[in-house]
Structure 1
Amino acid sequence: MASIFGHMTLGATLGKLLLPERRYVRYWVLAAACAFLPDIDVLGFKFHVAYASLWGHRGLTHSLLAAVMVASAVVGWHRLGHRAGPPLGRLWVLLFLATASHGVLDAMTTGGLGVAIFSPFVLERYFFGFCPIEVSPIGVRQFVGTTVWRVLQSEAIWVALPCAVLLTLQRLFSAQTAAVR
């Protein structure tokens, strides 16, 4: 898996790109949380859920169906309690992409059993042909020493740098658009 830092960086970046106004900063944080949420399945290790099972790590919670369900549930809840906020369709797209991005990053890592992106309809697990992201160990205790530096260096190159480029392009485009007006 990618680390919490990589997942949340991508989620927050998606938030800023899709809801660029500063008043939506709490939705950037929500997108970051949704980007990390699929790793809730690591709790299964405590209950002896097999890694390769539907409910195991990188299984159903990492699927596109789970991303649809998370986005729909959060937007539905938001609609009940809030009158103001971003357009619901745009919020749904943001939360779907943020949650789905988790499986995409994990499928680009150098380890694990792959990602059940089409679960529960297809149980096969996938990696992309291009896997430049160093796999992060599962658990805080293993995330130390040289391992953490390899993971974070990899994510700096393959996650943070592209996110920074996209945010810079957004800022330049916004500044140019404002100057034209």
Structure 2
Amino acid sequence: MVATGVHILIGLALVLLVSRSGRAEPYLVVALAAMAPDIDTFVFRPLVEFGYVSGPLWSHRGLTHSLLGGVVVVALLAYFGPWRAAAIGFGSHVGFDMLTGGVRLFAPVDPTLYGTSVDWLLLNMLASVVAVIIILGGLLGMKYDFERPIDAHAPKTTLEWFR
């Protein structure tokens, strides 16, 4: 299982590489979309433990990690920012979870678990290496923005970057 913070960082780095927006909305939307699939650990777990629902759809990586869940998340977050950022956040989360054990991609129609299931530790190490590469790519994209002309009045402090 990839940590939620890693999902957020991967989504942020991917949106940074794709859009390089100067506005805050794409980054907020991608962070929320990258967190959204793991809401099942807080919402569904008590329902399962108290016996209100049962079955694989209500487990972790079930309904909230499906394509149907992705459509719902992207539609809801498109109100706050670009839908592409929401799709990148949700898609990167589901993609990395498929690398580290699998998800029920076509729930509620098909409860089959899709993904790799070789060795949990090996898959998490692989996912971590890919995540670091993506994050470093996003950071290098921020530092060396070749499309923007060189500004003689570049910010001198970190806070000036955000003005």
TM-score, normalization: structure 1? Answer: 0.65
Is contact 2:17–2:137 with CA below 8 Å preserved after alignment?
no
Residue 28 of structure 1: CA displacement? 0.9
**Separation of aligned partners in 1, 2:141 and 2:61:** 32
Q: Which runs of 5+ in 2 are unaligned?
A: 150-163
**Separation of aligned partners in 2, 1:115 and 1:133:** 14
In structure 2, the residue corresponding to 1:115 is in which secondary structure?
coil
In 2 relative to 1, CA 13–51 (structure 1 residues): closer, same or farther, beyond 3 Å?
farther
Give the structure 1 partner of residue 64 of structure 2: 61
Is contact 2:62–2:103 with CA below 8 Å preserved after alignment?
yes
- State the AA in 2 paired with 1:20: R
The worse-fitting range, judged by mean Cα deviation, of 56-65 and 114-123 is 114-123
Give the structure 2 partner of residue 160 of structure 1: 132
**Separation of aligned partners in 2, 1:97 and 1:17:** 11
In structure 2, the residue corresponding to 1:30 is in which secondary structure?
helix
In structure 1, the residue corresponding to 2:64 is in which secondary structure?
helix
Alignment of 1:73-92 (within 5 A): 73-75=76-78, 77-78=79-80, 91-92=82-83
Residue 26 of structure 1: CA displacement? 4.1
Give the structure 1 partner of residue 152 of structure 2: none
1:128 to 101, 108, 116: 116
Is contact 1:42–1:57 with CA below 8 Å preserved after alignment?
yes
Q: Percent identity?
A: 25
2:86 to 74, 81, 95: 95
Is contact 2:33–2:77 with CA below 8 Å preserved after alignment?
no
- State the AA in 2 paired with 1:92: W
Superposition misfits of 4+ residues, deviation over 6 angstroms: none
- State the AA in 2 paired with 1:47: L
Give the structure 2 partner of residue 46 of structure 1: 46
- State the AA in 2 paired with 1:127: G
Greater radius of gyration (CA): 2
Q: Which runs of 5+ in 1 are unaligned?
A: 79-85, 135-152
Give the structure 2 partner of residue 13 of structure 1: 13
Residue 122 of structure 1: CA displacement? 2.1
TM-score, normalization: structure 2? Answer: 0.72
- State the AA in 2 paired with 1:161: I
Q: Please state if 1:33 is matched with 2:32.
A: yes
**Separation of aligned partners in 2, 1:130 and 1:92:** 34
